[in-house]
Amino acid sequence: MTISGFSYVRNGFNYDCPFIEAITSILPICDEFVVAVGDSTDGTREAIEQIGSPKIKIIDTTWDLRLRAGGKIFSQQTNLALDAIKGDWAFHIQADEVIHEKDLYKIKHSIEKENENSRIDGFILPFIHFWGDYYHYRNSRRVHKHEVRIFKNTGTVRSYRDSQGFRKYTSTEAYNNNSDKGKKLLVNKIDTPIFHYNNVRTPDSILKKHSEMGFFYGHEKKQTEETRKAQYDFNIVDRVAEFKDSHPNVMQKRIAAHPNDFVYDNSKATWVKKDKFIQPIEDLLGFKIGEYKNYIELK
């Protein structure tokens, strides 16, 4: 049984992504790691080369900006890396996601345990969505709780929509021409979290990120100064909580270098009206009402 890690990245330094940490965090349990590196101008490719692992294979890509509507370019880049892996199992990690070293054994053991199970397609992992700094995380109903990150490499699985998840398709042609909407993967859950650092950035990189997302989803618009400021005022959020556990070792240098100046002000909490009433009910029940799941969890 072999495991292949795969990812994609473009100008990772410009957007302050922990892409090196993402790759190296799962490298110990991977037999290979394939990364599609877009046409970067900030030294991203060179940095990945400098990791110096024979497990890593770089695929050089040029982003086709005609595919930017709906974030399709992200899915396309994911599939380019996925198509190049050879392992029995595929482990997808995005450029702002990191796994704690203490969880690697449990992940590998879970994969080995289900390797011969024909019912299971893959695994979902829970997310910790860090917010503002490395000591707070967003825990409202507006963030996704789990996503598929590990699955059997059968050749029938493709990135779904904007690379958030995966589905099984009858053929690559059917996937490409949208004649097949795909089947949700049958999954088990591994209780080892993805440390999601998308919203731990400098104000400058946050603005770059928002600008890029608007461009690649095809809905960029002129912003007012007030809107720009709101994008990096981390207090303008519904709810966050304190994080009191440890971070992955690969993140320690980045954490030490980050300005620890975020002070959470609950008085600025900003809720979607219906969420303000639904959230306490969900907290009491212990599950998300009407949660969208791009997978079927086996019981």
Which has the closest alpha carbon to 9: 58, 50, 52, 51? 58
Please, which pLDDT band fits residue 260 given cuts at 50, 70 and 90? confident
Q: Which two tokens stand for residue 85?
A: 């892996």
Mean pLDDT of the chain: 91
- The domain over range 1-299 is classified in CATH as 3.90.550: yes
What is the rounded average pLDDT of the residues 139-146?
96
CA–CA distance, 121 with 154 (Å, rounded to integer): 9
pTM more than 0.75: yes
Which has the closest alpha carbon to 216: 63, 61, 17? 63
Task: Find out whether 11 and 19 touch, Cβ atoms under 8 Å.
Answer: no
Please, which pLDDT band fits residue 148 given cuts at 50, 70 and 90? very high
**How many other β-carbons are positioned within 10 Å of the β-carbon of residue 122?**
24
pLDDT in tens, 44-97: 999 999 999 999 999 999 998 887 766 789 999 999 999 999 999 999 999 999
CA–CA distance, 19 with 51 (Å, rounded to integer): 11
To the nearest whole percent, how much of the chain has pLDDT over 90?
78
Provide the pLDDT for residue 214: 56
| Number of alpha carbons in the 13 Å side-chain half-sphere of residue 27 | 18
Strands 194-199 and 165-168: unpaired
- Amino acid of residue 103: D
pLDDT at 139 over 90: yes
